[in-house]
Amino acid sequence: MSTPPYADELNLCLCHTCGLACDMTDEPHECERCGAPLHRRKTNSLTRTWAYMLAALVFYIPANLLPVMNTQMVGNGADSTIMSGVLEFWEAGAWDIALIIFIASIAVPGIKFVAITLLLVTVQRDSEWARKERSTLYRFVEVIGYWSMLDVIVVALVASLVKFQALADIEPRPGILFFGLVVVFTMLSAMSFDPRMIWDKERGNPHNEEVTDEVTSH
């Protein structure tokens, strides 16, 4: 059974916006269907992925140390960080909400940091280890990325629902802004990574940041 041809052997390039396989015979600069710029490879993929991930890691520190919301009950106010909020929900018996916030706010960003770092280091080392599993890991990181916004949504919903004026009031605090930036930058980091680099060495093309014109099928 013959091996299916690679995209570059067919002179095709996948549009990153609409997914159309574009014919690159005449070197078009835009997708014929949606007009988006065409790139045979994601430009400076490693550099941009590292930059976005490190920025997210920097914002992750104040996101966990600073309060994300302030709760006032009958005149008494208290600031809550992400972890203290998890503990408060757990002690109040709302273990399901506590678990959701912990997974979305603590576990998911941590998993993404570890997974993206693993992908970057193995690609830079031209590793042949577990290529298929690493490709699956990248798709997993893409899927879970959007769920990190659950904590922001929870704060917004609670703040809008618990507005009893004189009795209770909830206001967001700076920590939620930093957490939102963590989510955005981790998503940008995942979007900047080009998973085709995982398979470069198998084709006899060890990764090189300057080589951005190779195209292989996923």
pLDDT for 23 equals 79
Q: Report whether pLDDT(1) > 60.
A: no
Q: Using one digit for the tens of pLDDT, what is the confidence trace for 44-67?
A: 889 999 999 999 999 999 988 888
- Is residue 48 located within the same domain as residue 36? no
pTM of the model: 0.74
- Is residue 127 located within the same domain as residue 172? yes
* Residue 214 placed within a domain: no
pLDDT for 159 equals 58
Q: Using one digit for the tens of pLDDT, what is the confidence trace for 134-153?
A: 889 988 888 876 666 665 66
pLDDT for 205 equals 53
Phi first, then psi: what are they for 79, rounded to 5°? -85, 145
Q: Percentage of residues in the chain with pLDDT exceeding 90?
A: 11
CB 172 within 8 A of CB 155: yes
| Tokens 């298929």 -> residue | 132
pLDDT for 206 equals 46
For the chain, the domain total comes to: 2
* Residue 208 placed within a domain: no
Which sign, positive or negative, has the C-alpha torsion 214, 15, 31, 3? positive
pLDDT for 117 equals 92
Q: Position 148: which residue type?
A: S
Q: Using one digit for the tens of pLDDT, what is the confidence trace for 156-211?
A: 666 565 555 545 566 677 888 888 888 889 889 988 888 888 877 655 554 444 34
- Is residue 106 located within the same domain as residue 190? yes
- Is residue 165 located within the same domain as residue 182? yes
* Residue 217 placed within a domain: no
- Is residue 89 located within the same domain as residue 16? no
- Is residue 31 located within the same domain as residue 61? no
Q: What is the CATH number of the domain that holds 62?
A: 1.20.140
- From the list 89, 84, 138, the residue with the least C-alpha distance to 111 is 138
- Could you list the residue range(s) of the whole structural domain that residue 86 is in? 42-203
* Residue 215 placed within a domain: no
- Is residue 60 located within the same domain as residue 32? no
